[in-house]
Amino acid sequence: MMRGEQKACAKINLTLDITGELPDRYHSIFTVMQTVGLWDDVVVETTEAEGISLTCSDNTLPCDGRNTAYLAAELFLRAAGVESGVAVTVQKRIPAQAGLAGGSADAAAVLRALDGLFPGRLSRRQLLDIAFCIGADVPFCLAGGARLCQNKGEVMAELPGLDAWVVLVKPEENVSTKAAYDRFAQAKDLFHPDNGRFLFYAAAGEYRKALAYACNTFEALCEVPSGEAIKAALYAGGAYYAAMSGSGSAFFGLFEEESRAAAAAEALKASFPQTFLCHTVDGTGE
């Protein structure tokens, strides 16, 4: 039997704009995502038994085709013509419903693991196509690093990585991405980031300048009552930028110094137990 292990790293959205509606009624986005060093551990093993089995440390998550890790294995095996059974084990750390791409990261980790176990069966293009079939963030999680993602998220361009300490804060509130997009259709005078100026500086790796033109449009569309307090605490703790990640409900702060980030994280844990200190990551963290 063969075994593959992967880190499934979370992501943050340094900026996120909803730029319009596509012909298929989905919304187009402009976002720059960055991999961070909070991860789930994913193990994939071949088995003598047929089919796919999934074990997850979070017993609130399904362990069948509704789980992105299971779906990733199913689609890979089918596309690659692999008849071997596989067992997938996921040790969760990334909070669910946080906008940190925990499920997407797990799916991408399964694809990378299977690609390592069955090398050459699928092309990079085929892997990316499978990733996008699973979810809009999965292609990014497959690649990792820092990337501009557009359209539905599948159009990607690599950018210089951000070097920063990151404090992640997941409040108790959960949000509905669908409800946020529904509000977008009715929203008036919605504030948008300056995408052109952000990208001008980000492409040169000058993120302190780029972030002056950043924001997350979803913050005005998602109801996270504790969000403003979290952002205020992050800035008070020394963050040079703070925002919601994805469609929430997690927020993050960026810090230059580990000591200040660690102190801010410790202070926030008293009110928000799901607070994490990590660093940005190049690539997928392997």
| 37-57 per-position pLDDT tens digit | 999 999 999 998 889 999 999
Instruction: Say whether pLDDT at 72 is over 80.
Output: yes
In this prediction, residue 220 carries a pLDDT of 86
pLDDT in tens, 168-218: 999 998 877 777 777 777 777 788 999 999 999 999 999 999 999 999 999
188 is catalytic: no
Alpha helices in 153-211 (DSSP H): 177-186, 195-202, 207-210
Q: How much is the mean pLDDT over the chain?
A: 94
7 is catalytic: no
pLDDT in tens, 172-184: 988 777 777 777 7
In three-state secondary structure terms, 255 is strand
- Nearest alpha carbon to residue 51 among 68, 74, 71, 72: 74
Range name among 14-18, 23-27, 215-219 with the lowest pLDDT average: 23-27
- Opening angle at CA 219, ends 216 and 222, nearest 5: 140
In this prediction, residue 194 carries a pLDDT of 97
**Architecture of domain 165-279 in CATH?**
2-Layer Sandwich (3.30)
- Nearest alpha carbon to residue 241 among 250, 226, 251: 251
Global pTM exceeds 0.85: yes
User: CB of 264 within 8 A of CB of 14?
Assistant: no
Q: What is the dihedral of CA 112, 114, 115, 120, to 10 degrees?
A: -170
In this prediction, residue 73 carries a pLDDT of 98
CA 54, CA 67: separation in Å to the nearest integer? Answer: 9
In this prediction, residue 286 carries a pLDDT of 66
What six digits make up the tokens of 218?
Answer: 């979803």
User: CB of 102 within 8 A of CB of 36?
Assistant: no
Quickly tell me which residue has 């694809």 as its tokens.
111
Overall average pLDDT of the 129-137 stretch: 95
Report the topology of domain 3-159.
Ribosomal Protein S5; domain 2 (3.30.230)
Active-site annotation holder among 11, 92, 170, 231: 11
Element (H, E) at 73: helix 68-80
How do the domains of the chain map onto residue ranges?
Answer: 3-159, 165-279
Residue 39 has φ and ψ, to the nearest 5°, of -140, 155
Phi-psi region of 216 (alpha: psi -120 to 50; beta: other; left: phi over 0): beta
In this prediction, residue 184 carries a pLDDT of 75
In this prediction, residue 284 carries a pLDDT of 76
Alpha helices in 81-123 (DSSP H): 102-117
Active-site annotation holder among 92, 106, 137, 170: 137
β-partners of residue 242 are 253
Alpha helices in 118-191 (DSSP H): 124-134, 138-143, 177-186
Phi-psi region of 153 (alpha: psi -120 to 50; beta: other; left: phi over 0): left
User: Using only C-alpha atoms, what is the Rg of the chain?
Assistant: 19
In three-state secondary structure terms, 119 is coil
